[in-house]
Amino acid sequence: MATTWVLPSPAAANTRLPVPYSFAAGIAAQLVNPHSSPPGSNDFSCRPTATHPRPVVLVHGTLGNMVDSWQALSPLLKNNGYCVFALDYGGAPGGLFQGYGDIPTSAARLGAFVDRVRAATGTAEVDLVGHSQGGGALPRYYLQELGGAAKVHDLVGIAPSNHGAPVEGILRLLDAFPGGRQAFVDACPACAQQDFDSPFMRDLNAHPDTVAGVRYTVIESRYDEVIRPYTLAFLAGPDVRNITVQDRCGLDFSDHLALIYDRVALNEVLNALDPTRTDRVCALSLPVLGG
């Protein structure tokens, strides 16, 4: 993966970073500097504080990448005193699209990155914040099957694919073309695996939704057009908070993509990572764009 690791100077470390609540910022960053780390992230000299004792690892979703996904949340977390890290996974090194590869393989990649962050920061645990696959099927597999629960304190999923999505409808349409279904599955294994009735999701959902010792937060929108019904994102368990952003703000029209640039949703990420924080915000957020 051609990734630039930027180590900020002491002066830069004390500078508040801009937080653009617009998916357009992610697209612009992808065009200008496609292989960079999101602002404020991947400083492996960062040391967590007593106030925020765990580093935060950001995990993008299917066909996304760390550049286009985290231009808002990464600097927001950094400005609030967190050590922030982000990775790409599940795609060709340097490729625009990531997160389409086999989910168990991607989970192993996530696990290796978590171990690297833990070693660099001297912490036993990290917090994971992910979008779509990166907040749902992927970390659930990592926690349940690869021993990740011993290394993760919080999992915060933004529009997470916790119980899959209705991908089978797309596959049925592709059946009209000779070899269409198989070509799709070959091109995007993670897409097919996230169908709620796929063998992968059936195996994953044969376990309880949660793993003991991990605190879970789900942040979802009623207007999510990918996770349908949107309640598929929600988890059942003793240490779970399921949040619908429209219950926080009636001006929030975010869809699946917009949630990662939605100030209502990202404020709830801050609340999830620090339970002593209970701030509320309300602002207009539009589909795709955020706000």
Q: Which residue has the higher pLDDT, 33 or 108?
A: 108
Where do the domains of the chain lie? Answer: 21-273
Q: What would the two tokens of residue 29 be?
A: 């960053």
Among candidate residues 105, 117, 191, the one with its CA nearest the CA of residue 142: 105
Rounded-to-integer distance, Cα 38 and Cα 17, Å: 11
Q: What is the pLDDT of residues 13-33, one digit of tens each?
A: 468 999 999 999 999 999 998
Contact 52, 108 (CB under 8 A): no
Asked if the model's pLDDT at residue 186 lies above 90, the reply is: no
Residue 115: pLDDT band (50, 70, 90) is very high
Rounded-to-integer distance, Cα 283 and Cα 291, Å: 7
Looking at the whole model, is its pTM more than 0.75? Answer: yes
Tell me whether residue 41 is exposed, middle or buried, using C-beta atoms within 10 angstroms of its C-beta: 0 to 12, 13 to 18, 19 or more: buried
* Sequence-separated (6 or more) residues with CB below 8 Å from residue 10: none
Among candidate residues 225, 234, 220, 223, the one with its CA nearest the CA of residue 286: 223
Among candidate residues 49, 60, 47, 51, the one with its CA nearest the CA of residue 275: 51
Q: Rounded mean pLDDT of 106-118?
A: 98
Q: What would the two tokens of residue 265 be?
A: 């949703």
Among candidate residues 35, 55, 58, 38, the one with its CA nearest the CA of residue 47: 55
H helix or E strand, kind and range, residue 27:
helix 23-32
Q: Rounded mean pLDDT of 233-257?
A: 96
Residue 229 preceded by cis peptide, ω within 30: yes
Contact 83, 40 (CB under 8 A): no
Rounded-to-integer distance, Cα 137 and Cα 247, Å: 25
Q: Which CATH architecture has domain 21-273?
A: 3-Layer(aba) Sandwich (3.40)
Among candidate residues 110, 192, 180, 191, the one with its CA nearest the CA of residue 151: 110
Residue 93, phi then psi, degrees to nearest 5: -55, 125
Q: Rounded mean pLDDT of 145-160?
A: 98
| pLDDT for the residue numbered 168 | 60
Asked if the model's pLDDT at residue 5 lies above 60, the reply is: no
Rounded-to-integer distance, Cα 132 and Cα 63, Å: 10
- Locus of tokens 């508040």: 16
